[in-house]
Amino acid sequence: MSRTIKALSDSTLAEREHELIAAGEVLDLRFRDGRRALSLRAGKLFHLLVNIAGARAVEDVEHKVPIAQLNFSHLERDELVECVRDLVGTTVELRVKRDGKEEVMVDPLLFGVRRPAEMYEDAGNLVFRLSPTLRKVLEQSNHWAALSRKAVLAFESRFSLRLYEIVALRSGLERKTSEVFDLDDLRKRLGVEPKTFTRWQDFRRFVLDRALEEVNQLSGFTVTWEPVKRGRSFAAVRLSWEVQDAKGRAAAARELDSSSIGRRARREGTVENVVEAGFPPAGPISYGKWADIAREMLPRPTPDVDLVATRFRDFAAKKGIPLGRSNIERIFRIFCKEWKV
For the ranges 23-32, 39-48, 212-221, 331-340, which has the lowest average pLDDT? 23-32
Percent of the chain at pLDDT exceeding 70 = 89
- Of residues 69 and 239, which shows the higher confidence score? 239
- Whether the predicted pLDDT of 15 surpasses 80: no
pLDDT digit string (tens) for 68-94? 777 665 556 667 777 888 888 877 777
- Of residues 91 and 126, which shows the higher confidence score? 126
Q: At what angle do helices 305-319 and 328-337 cross, to 10 degrees?
A: 120
For the ranges 136-150, 275-289, 292-306, which has the lowest average pLDDT? 275-289
128's enclosing H/E stretch is strand 125-130
The CATH architecture assigned to 155-275 reads: Orthogonal Bundle (1.10)
- Whether the predicted pLDDT of 9 surpasses 80: yes
The total number of residues shown for the chain amounts to 341
- Whether the predicted pLDDT of 203 surpasses 60: yes
- Whether the predicted pLDDT of 273 surpasses 50: no
pTM, to two decimals: 0.74
pLDDT band at 243 (very low <50, low <70, confident <90, very high): very high
Would you list the DSSP string of 60-101?
Answer: SS-EEEEGGGG-TT---HHHHHHHHHHHHH-EEEEEEEETTE
Gap between the terminal Cα atoms of the chain: 52
Every domain of the chain and the residues it spans: 1-154, 155-275, 289-337
pLDDT at site 238: 97
Residue 221 to residue 218: CA distance in whole angstroms: 8
pLDDT digit string (tens) for 134-188? 898 899 898 899 999 999 999 999 999 999 999 999 997 777 899 999 999 999 8
Mean pLDDT of 316-326: 87
pLDDT at site 275: 46
Q: Is the torsion defined by CA of 4, 40, 148, 145 positive or negative?
A: positive
